[in-house]
Amino acid sequence: MNYETILYEAGPGVATITLNRPDKLNAFNDQMIREATDAFKQAGRDNSVRVIVLTGSGRAFSSGQDLADVQSRGEGFSIGEHLRQGYHRLIKQMVSLEKPIIAAVNGVAAGAGVGVALAADLRIVSEKATFILAFSRVGLVPDSGTNWFLPRIIGYSRAYELAITADRLTAQKALEWGVVNVVTTPETLMETVAAWTGPLATGPTLAYGLAKRAMHKSWNLSLDEALDYEAHLQEICSRSHDFEEGVNAFLEKREAQFRGE
Ligand code: LHQ
């Protein structure tokens, strides 16, 4: 697929997806949702890609749904179908992709932009980043997975407060509340991200991917079921190249040379 609303760059071990509608603060139109979904799919299929970075061009990460686009659709437009056919595919693609995804949040994330940032596994953000559950400003409920991710990260009361006030959550507060992993200066954002992607791109990707699967699946499991599922995944990992290499490297007191498989 040729992309027009995003940039896709696959370097050694790392794919970077850049939301690229800066004049609209990277608001999502149908094409951008489709292209971002496709780019994650491509990064998942490419064995040379072992970590994915999602960021925005210009001063924003994403201002969420393109509201001008919604308005232009007229009365017959079904937001429910738009979500099902668009954002839901994107969010599920991100969560089911068994490689770490880092959201490098360079500026404001609003509405569905928050949902997409939360669907990433780690958030490394600029001091200028803010998160706004702008949905209620336009008379909507949070969507794009926000109701699922956010209370799990910060608890119900804080999440509900952000939903009904649509107040800006600053980068610093987001760090205190565990929404983001790292806050850095705007100038050093991508450098900081690179300091994370370097080791992740040479790490045991299979184990990283299955840890992601185990943690997501655990929300719906009893302790007995979760323990059982861990044992199943550990069987898979224990037959991998990287397990053998990891143990050998430890015993031989050298750096492991993981292949991600
Ligand atoms: C925009 C947008 C935008 C279009 C900035 N759309 N142009 C899902 C499914 C279906 C339907 C509905 O919703 C959803 C989920 C959602 O995402 S609902 C929430 C949608 N997002 C919002 O309500 C946020 C709207 N944007 C804002 O509140 C502000 O732009 C923020 C706070 C993000 C940034 O404010 P400023 O830094 O002051 O920038 P700005 O407002 O001046 O925006 C710059 C330009 O970007 C401006 O265009 P212009 O031609 O005047 O320069 C905006 O119109 C445009 N833009 N967000 N979502």
Cβ proximity of 258 and 203 under 8 Å? yes
- Whether 1 is covered by a domain: the verdict is no
Same domain, 186 and 241: no
Query: Which positions are catalytic?
Result: 88, 143
- Residues 104-120: pLDDT tens digits? 999 999 999 999 999 99
* Averaged pLDDT, 185-189: 98
> Measuring from atom 46 of ligand 1, which residue has the nearest CA?
24
Does ligand 1 come within 6 angstroms of the Cβ of 129? Answer: no
CA torsion, points 97, 102, 108, 113, in degrees to nearest 10? 0
- Whether 213 is covered by a domain: the verdict is yes
- Residues 193-222: pLDDT tens digits? 999 999 999 999 999 999 999 999 999 999
Same domain, 143 and 223: no
Q: How far is the centre of ligand 1, averaged over its atoms, from the C-alpha of 57 (Å)? A: 15
Q: How far is the centre of ligand 1, averaged over its atoms, from the C-alpha of 88 (Å)? A: 20
Quote the pTM value.
0.97
- Residues 128-172: pLDDT tens digits? 999 999 999 999 999 999 999 999 999 999 999 999 999 999 999
Contacts of 131 (CB under 8 A, 6+ apart): 105, 108, 109, 110, 114, 117, 162, 168, 169, 174, 179
Does ligand 1 come within 6 angstroms of the Cβ of 138? Answer: yes
Count the domains in the chain.
2
Q: How far is the centre of ligand 1, averaged over its atoms, from the C-alpha of 24 (Å)? A: 7
CATH of residue 101's domain is: 3.90.226.10
CATH of residue 232's domain is: 1.10.12.10
Structural domain of 43 = 6-201
Q: What band does 59 get if pLDDT is binned at 50, 70 and 90?
A: very high
Contacts of 83 (CB under 8 A, 6+ apart): 143, 144
Does ligand 1 come within 6 angstroms of the Cβ of 79? Answer: yes
* Averaged pLDDT, 70-81: 93
- Whether 94 is covered by a domain: the verdict is yes
Does ligand 1 come within 6 angstroms of the Cβ of 65? Answer: yes
Helix (H, G, I), strand (E, B) or coil at 44: helix
* Averaged pLDDT, 80-100: 98
CA Rg, the chain, in Å? 19
Q: Which amino acid is at 73?
A: R
The Cα–Cα gap between 189 and 134 comes to 25
Given a cut of 90, whether residue 70 has pLDDT beyond it is yes
